Structure 1
Amino acid sequence: MKDFFYAIQDLFVNVLFAPYDALRALELENWGLANFLSWIFIIIGFVAMVYWMIQLKGFNDNNEEDKSISSHSFL
Protein backbone atom coordinates (compact mmCIF):
# COMPACT_ATOMS: atom_id res chain seq x y z
CA MET A 1 0.00 0.00 0.00
CA LYS A 2 2.93 2.29 0.68
CA ASP A 3 4.07 1.92 -2.94
CA PHE A 4 0.66 3.13 -4.11
CA PHE A 5 1.03 6.41 -2.25
CA TYR A 6 4.62 6.80 -3.45
CA ALA A 7 3.35 6.33 -7.02
CA ILE A 8 0.81 9.12 -6.51
CA GLN A 9 3.55 11.33 -5.08
CA ASP A 10 5.80 10.57 -8.02
CA LEU A 11 3.02 11.35 -10.50
CA PHE A 12 2.30 14.76 -9.02
CA VAL A 13 5.83 15.86 -8.19
CA ASN A 14 7.65 14.64 -11.30
CA VAL A 15 4.95 14.78 -13.99
CA LEU A 16 2.00 17.06 -13.27
CA PHE A 17 3.90 19.86 -11.53
CA ALA A 18 6.86 19.85 -13.95
CA PRO A 19 5.57 22.89 -15.91
CA TYR A 20 5.30 24.87 -12.68
CA ASP A 21 8.88 23.99 -11.78
CA ALA A 22 9.96 25.31 -15.18
CA LEU A 23 8.01 28.53 -14.54
CA ARG A 24 9.64 28.88 -11.12
CA ALA A 25 13.09 28.66 -12.73
CA LEU A 26 12.03 31.20 -15.34
CA GLU A 27 10.86 33.65 -12.69
CA LEU A 28 14.39 34.67 -11.90
CA GLU A 29 14.91 35.83 -15.48
CA ASN A 30 11.57 37.32 -16.57
CA TRP A 31 8.75 38.17 -14.16
CA GLY A 32 6.09 38.80 -16.82
CA LEU A 33 6.65 35.54 -18.64
CA ALA A 34 6.68 33.57 -15.39
CA ASN A 35 3.30 35.02 -14.38
CA PHE A 36 1.71 34.53 -17.81
CA LEU A 37 -0.40 31.60 -16.60
CA SER A 38 -1.71 33.62 -13.66
CA TRP A 39 -2.70 36.48 -15.96
CA ILE A 40 -4.52 34.04 -18.24
CA PHE A 41 -6.55 32.73 -15.27
CA ILE A 42 -7.34 36.29 -14.14
CA ILE A 43 -8.56 37.22 -17.63
CA ILE A 44 -10.72 34.09 -17.87
CA GLY A 45 -12.25 34.86 -14.47
CA PHE A 46 -12.94 38.48 -15.42
CA VAL A 47 -14.60 37.49 -18.70
CA ALA A 48 -16.75 34.93 -16.87
CA MET A 49 -17.81 37.55 -14.31
CA VAL A 50 -18.75 40.06 -17.03
CA TYR A 51 -20.76 37.37 -18.86
CA TRP A 52 -22.52 36.45 -15.61
CA MET A 53 -23.43 40.08 -14.90
CA ILE A 54 -24.79 40.53 -18.44
CA GLN A 55 -26.94 37.42 -18.01
CA LEU A 56 -28.23 38.65 -14.64
CA LYS A 57 -29.09 42.03 -16.15
CA GLY A 58 -30.99 40.31 -18.96
CA PHE A 59 -33.08 38.30 -16.49
CA ASN A 60 -33.65 41.43 -14.41
CA ASP A 61 -34.80 43.45 -17.44
CA ASN A 62 -37.30 40.71 -18.41
CA ASN A 63 -38.72 40.62 -14.83
CA GLU A 64 -38.14 36.85 -14.69
CA GLU A 65 -36.82 36.89 -11.13
CA ASP A 66 -39.16 36.41 -8.18
CA LYS A 67 -38.56 39.45 -5.96
CA SER A 68 -41.30 38.77 -3.44
CA ILE A 69 -40.21 39.28 0.15
CA SER A 70 -41.07 36.22 2.20
CA SER A 71 -39.46 33.97 4.71
CA HIS A 72 -38.78 30.32 4.23
CA SER A 73 -41.55 27.98 5.26
CA PHE A 74 -39.44 26.44 8.01
CA LEU A 75 -39.07 29.81 9.76
Structure 2
Amino acid sequence: MKAFFEGIEDLFVNVLFAPLDFLRFMDSWWLANTLNWIFVIIGMVAMVYWLKQLKIFNDREEEDKSVTSHSYL
Protein backbone atom coordinates (compact mmCIF):
# COMPACT_ATOMS: atom_id res chain seq x y z
CA MET A 1 0.00 0.00 0.00
CA LYS A 2 2.91 2.34 0.71
CA ALA A 3 4.19 1.91 -2.85
CA PHE A 4 0.74 2.82 -4.21
CA PHE A 5 0.69 6.16 -2.39
CA GLU A 6 4.32 6.85 -3.30
CA GLY A 7 3.34 6.26 -6.93
CA ILE A 8 0.55 8.82 -6.63
CA GLU A 9 3.00 11.25 -5.04
CA ASP A 10 5.51 10.72 -7.85
CA LEU A 11 2.84 11.28 -10.49
CA PHE A 12 1.71 14.59 -9.04
CA VAL A 13 5.08 15.99 -7.95
CA ASN A 14 7.24 14.96 -10.89
CA VAL A 15 4.75 14.92 -13.77
CA LEU A 16 1.58 16.95 -13.28
CA PHE A 17 3.05 19.87 -11.31
CA ALA A 18 6.31 20.12 -13.30
CA PRO A 19 5.04 23.04 -15.44
CA LEU A 20 4.17 24.96 -12.27
CA ASP A 21 7.73 24.52 -10.98
CA PHE A 22 8.95 26.14 -14.19
CA LEU A 23 6.64 29.12 -13.67
CA ARG A 24 7.72 29.52 -10.05
CA PHE A 25 11.37 30.17 -10.89
CA MET A 26 10.83 32.82 -13.57
CA ASP A 27 12.24 36.32 -13.05
CA SER A 28 9.09 38.14 -14.15
CA TRP A 29 6.21 38.36 -11.68
CA TRP A 30 3.69 38.80 -14.50
CA LEU A 31 4.81 35.70 -16.38
CA ALA A 32 5.00 33.62 -13.21
CA ASN A 33 1.40 34.51 -12.31
CA THR A 34 -0.12 34.06 -15.76
CA LEU A 35 -2.01 30.96 -14.66
CA ASN A 36 -3.49 32.85 -11.70
CA TRP A 37 -4.64 35.66 -13.97
CA ILE A 38 -6.28 33.15 -16.31
CA PHE A 39 -8.24 31.69 -13.38
CA VAL A 40 -9.26 35.20 -12.24
CA ILE A 41 -10.54 36.04 -15.72
CA ILE A 42 -12.48 32.76 -15.94
CA GLY A 43 -14.02 33.49 -12.53
CA MET A 44 -15.03 37.00 -13.57
CA VAL A 45 -16.65 35.76 -16.79
CA ALA A 46 -18.55 33.08 -14.85
CA MET A 47 -19.76 35.64 -12.31
CA VAL A 48 -21.00 38.02 -15.02
CA TYR A 49 -22.82 35.13 -16.72
CA TRP A 50 -24.37 34.09 -13.41
CA LEU A 51 -25.56 37.62 -12.63
CA LYS A 52 -27.06 37.97 -16.11
CA GLN A 53 -28.98 34.72 -15.61
CA LEU A 54 -30.25 35.92 -12.22
CA LYS A 55 -31.46 39.15 -13.83
CA ILE A 56 -33.29 37.21 -16.55
CA PHE A 57 -35.15 35.11 -13.96
CA ASN A 58 -35.86 38.20 -11.85
CA ASP A 59 -37.29 40.07 -14.84
CA ARG A 60 -39.59 37.14 -15.66
CA GLU A 61 -40.76 37.10 -12.01
CA GLU A 62 -40.46 33.31 -11.83
CA GLU A 63 -39.43 33.31 -8.18
CA ASP A 64 -42.07 32.99 -5.48
CA LYS A 65 -41.49 36.03 -3.25
CA SER A 66 -44.54 35.65 -1.04
CA VAL A 67 -43.90 36.40 2.61
CA THR A 68 -44.85 33.21 4.42
CA SER A 69 -43.07 31.37 7.16
CA HIS A 70 -42.55 27.65 7.48
CA SER A 71 -45.35 25.59 8.96
CA TYR A 72 -43.23 24.58 11.94
CA LEU A 73 -42.75 28.21 13.01
Supply the AA of the counterpart residue of 2:48: V
- Cα deviation, 1:13-71, whole Å, max 9, x if unaligned, reads 10111011011111xx1110111110010000001001100110011011111111223
Residue ranges of structure 2 left out of the alignment (5+ in a row): none
**1:35 alignment partner in structure 2:** 33
1:63 alignment partner, one of 56, 61, 66:
61
Counterpart of 2:9 in structure 1 is 9
**Structure-2 separation of matches of 1:72 and 1:8:** 49
Q: Which runs of 5+ in 1 are unaligned?
A: none
TM-score by length of 1: 0.89
RMSD of aligned Cα (Å):
1.2
The equivalent of 1:20 in structure 2 is 20
Structure 1 runs, 4 residues or longer, greater than 4 Å off: none
| Cα distance in 2, alignment partners of residues 51 and 66 from structure 1 | 22
Query: 1:50 aligns to what?
Result: 48
Give the total of aligned pairs: 73
Letter aligned with residue 2 of structure 2: K
- Give the structure-2-normalised TM-score: 0.91
Query: Percent of counterpart pairs with the same letter?
Result: 68
